Structure 1
Amino acid sequence: MTPRRKVFGIGFHKTATTSLATALRSLGYRVTGPNGVRDPSIARSARPLAFRLAERFDAFQDNPWPILYRDLDERFPGSRFVLTVRPSDEWIRSVVRHFGAESTPMREWIYGVGAPLGNEATYLARYVGHNQAVREHFRERPEALLVMRITAGDGWERLCPFLGEAVPDMPFPHVNAAAVRDSEAGSNDPSD
């Protein structure tokens, strides 16, 4: 049996990444997501850690995957990339509401500042810049990138043809990430 292509969710957090992960699991993919890494040296350790995890899973979502899309595209030719997006104003409101003044090494690495509260312009510039850079990177290979607006209703009808999968007979999952995190508190399983 031929191994599945890898699928990298490269949308920033708060763009329905948990819904994407749930959908991919429903299609039979082995998914890993954010692993609660709070290592201050994340900028140095993310690539080797990500490459090791990438050998064990089929699909990936949330951090650090969006930041590494160029490296992953080079290292895993033929992979598929899903950029989940939502309107910038909705995105920043959600990020501030969810993370507030909390800083983490991962967010410091991504945005150059840790906490979104008080740094909204910096966060927005990075979010918009990332989405533009991803589209530009795949401009000559549109078959490798799917842009999804899950919060606006995109679902199986876009995802399944892109992945070469049959559309399942179930509604597309719309998961409240905060509720999932609360129910899985303390889990160290990298498949969460």
Structure 2
Amino acid sequence: MKPFGLGLNKTSTKTLGVCLQHFGYKHTTYNLDDLRTFSQGNLNHLLDKIKQYDSCEDWPWALMYEFLDKQFPEAQFILTKRKTPDIWFESLCKHADRTGPTEARRLVYGYEMPHDYRQHHIDFYNAHNQKVVDYFKDRADKLLVVCWENGDGWRELCQFLKQPQPNMPFPHINKARTASPNLTS
């Protein structure tokens, strides 16, 4: 069984990746070359790559869940979300402030920097999450939707993946310490 993370970037995908690696999965995450390959529609090349791994999260994997579901019928899918779309957008902007314009954001969202395109990004986030939920609506056992900010953690993840619960605190990777003002208004 391969677990695939379907959350967009800045939805605690790195936390999910650390959890999956803790369980012993050979894991892959965001890769710009893979995102370029996805953007060009070369899914077979990506299929060859993902066969080398037990789990994945972030781009491009979160964007190709229908293809992955068809290729790996035994797979499980985990949608990581933020408490609100506004919190997600704020995190996206803070990350953009640190990294500057990126090709990856342009390929996924259409813009290298999110700040001036709030509604576009919020709509993209909401639509992605809804499409994932709708896609798996008749197979609820294939999809786990989690929000670490709401208290989801080891219990939900372990039950879903049928893994023993670790005797350690749940990791929160890249957790922001403070919020940036005025990004959600």
> TM-score with structure 2 length normalisation?
0.86
The question of 1:141 aligning with 2:139 is answered yes
Q: How many Å separate the matches in 2 of 1:131 and 1:43? A: 20
- Give the CA deviation at 1:108: 2.2
Higher mean C-alpha displacement, 100-109 vs 141-150: 100-109
Q: How many Å separate the matches in 2 of 1:169 and 1:79? A: 26
Give the counterpart letter for 1:13 in structure 2.
N
- Give the CA deviation at 1:38: 8.6
The question of 1:24 aligning with 2:24 is answered no
Residues 90 and 111 of structure 1, relative CA distance in 2, 3 Å threshold: same
> TM-score with structure 1 length normalisation?
0.83
Provide structure 1 residue ranges, at least 5 long, that are not aligned to the other structure: 179-192
Partner residue of 1:174? 172
Aligned-residue CA RMSD in angstroms? 2.1
Partner residue of 2:11? 15
Q: How many Å separate the matches in 1 of 2:38 and 2:72? A: 22
Partner residue of 2:89? 92
- Give the CA deviation at 1:42: 5.0
Give the counterpart letter for 1:71 in structure 2.
F
Deviation per CA, 1:69-115, whole angstroms, max 9, x where unpaired? 11111111120000000110100000011114833333223222332
Aligned pair partner of 1:75 in 65, 68, 71: 71
Query: Does the 8 Å CA contact 1:82/1:148 hold for their aligned counterparts?
Result: yes
Partner residue of 2:127? 129
Q: How many Å separate the matches in 1 of 2:144 and 2:89? A: 22
Q: Percent identity?
A: 35
Give the counterpart letter for 1:79 in structure 2.
A
Query: Does the 8 Å CA contact 1:18/1:177 hold for their aligned counterparts?
Result: no
Q: How many residues align?
A: 174
- Give the CA deviation at 1:55: 0.6
Deviation per CA, 1:116-161, whole angstroms, max 9, x where unpaired? 1211111111000000000000000000000010122211100011
Which consecutive segments of 4 or more residues in structure 1 shift more than 4 A?
Answer: 38-42
Query: Does the 8 Å CA contact 1:6/1:58 hold for their aligned counterparts?
Result: yes
Query: Does the 8 Å CA contact 1:84/1:149 hold for their aligned counterparts?
Result: yes
> Residues 58-69 of structure 1 correspond to what in structure 2 (within 5 A)?
58-69=54-65
Partner residue of 2:100? 102
Q: How many Å separate the matches in 2 of 1:33 and 1:133? A: 21
- Give the CA deviation at 1:6: 0.6
Q: How many Å separate the matches in 2 of 1:80 and 1:54? A: 14
Secondary structure of the structure 1 residue equivalent to 2:79: strand
Provide structure 2 residue ranges, at least 5 long, that are not aligned to the other structure: 177-185
Q: How many Å separate the matches in 2 of 1:106 and 1:46? A: 16
Q: How many Å separate the matches in 2 of 1:169 and 1:19? A: 17
Deviation per CA, 1:7-66, whole angstroms, max 9, x where unpaired? 100000111100110011111111100124397665115623421221111110111111
